[in-house]
Amino acid sequence: MAITPPENRLWWKEPLHGIETIWITVGFLWGLFMTGMMVYWHMTGEQNLSNEAYRVNPDTYAEKVEAAAAQYTVREDEQSGIPVVHPPAGSDVYMLARLWEWWPILELEKGKEYRLHLSSLDWLHGFSLQPTNINLQIHPNYEMVLTIKPEQTGDFGIICNEFCGIGHHTMLGKMIIVE
């Protein structure tokens, strides 16, 4: 029994049952396959993180975001008063997270690639772009850069999905995708 020592002193020498051998082989090969899938997706799949990141001082990052916003602001959002920024297609675009907002609102063009920079000015935040459903962890002091290519037009919500204090559930941002 499993609650008593093995009866066979040399239990390691017991042969495997056929079915056990099969199951272990299947499980092992499936594990190799699943590992291979991740590598394969890096080579051929379209959804991969670049893992490009830099250390950055929050003040420096804020200046970068504000400079980009000053250059490309096209209007203010009626509900929130947050500037809507329409940077050139294919350029570097910046967004910051802070208690409790995403700033600014980015207006991007469908089918164009952008280098999206993300960082936090204070605590950890979660970048959850919905409904396309892309979720990223946003840190202060680290600037994350990823290339993103919007595929549908419309208003997309950016929900904070990392708990960031009592105003967490009000932390809602926006990304607008136009033709």
Partner 1 sequence: MSMSLFRTCPDTGLKVHGPAESLIKANAVVAVVFLALGGLFGLLVALTRWQAVHLLPADLFYLALTAHGADILIFWIIFFEIAILYFASAILLNCRLAMPKVAWLAFILMLVGALMANVAVLQGDSSVMFTSYVPMKADHKFYLGLILFAVGALVAVMVFFGTLVIAKKERTYEGSVPLVTFGAVTAAIIAVYTIASGAVILVPTWLWSIGLIGEIDTLTYRVVWWGFGHSSQQINVAAQVSCWYAIAAIVLGAKPMSEKVSRAAFFLYICFLLLASAHHLLVDPGLSSEWKVVNTSYALFLAVLGSLIHGMSVPGAIEVAQRKNGFTQGTFGWLRNAPWGNPAFSGMFLSVVLFGVLGGITGVIMGTEQINLIIHNTLYVPGHFHGTVAAGTTLAFMAVSYLVVPLIFRKEIMFKKMAQWQPYMFGLGITGLSVFMMAAGTLGVSRRHWDMAFSDATMTFDYPPAVFMIMALNGISGIIATIGGGMFVIVIVASVFFGKKRGEEEVKNNPIVHQGGGTVAAHGSAESLHIPGTIVLVSLFFGAFVLYYFINWKYLSEIWPLS
Partner 2 sequence: MSDTDNTDKDKEPIPGMQSLLDNTFLLLFIGVAVPSVIYTIWGVMEVANIPLAH
Site residues for partner 1, 103-122, by CB under 8 A, read: 122
Q: Considering the rule CB under 8 A, would residue 17 count as an interface residue with partner 2? A: no
DSSP state of 168: G
Distance between CA 143 and CA 136 in Å, rounded? 12
Distance between CA 143 and CA 35 in Å, rounded? 28
141 contact partners, CB below 8 Å, separation of at least 6: 55, 56, 57, 58, 119
Which range touches partner 2 (CB under 8 A), out of 27-35, 56-64, 107-115, 171-179?
Answer: 56-64
30 contact partners, CB below 8 Å, separation of at least 6: none
Q: Considering the rule CB under 8 A, would residue 2 count as an interface residue with partner 2? A: no
Q: Considering the rule CB under 8 A, would residue 164 count as an interface residue with partner 1? A: yes
Distance between CA 108 and CA 61 in Å, rounded? 21
Distance between CA 119 and CA 64 in Å, rounded? 11
Which member of 4, 11, 43, 78 binds partner 2 (CB under 8 A)? 11
Nearer to partner 1, 71 or 170 (CB): 170
Please list every residue from 59 through 88 that binds partner 2, using CB under 8 A. 60-61
Please list every residue from 124 through 163 that binds partner 1, using CB under 8 A. 124, 126, 128, 130-144, 146-151, 157, 159-163
Nearer to partner 2, 61 or 102 (CB): 61
Provide the binding-site residues for partner 2, judged by CB under 8 A: 9-13, 53-56, 60-61, 142-143
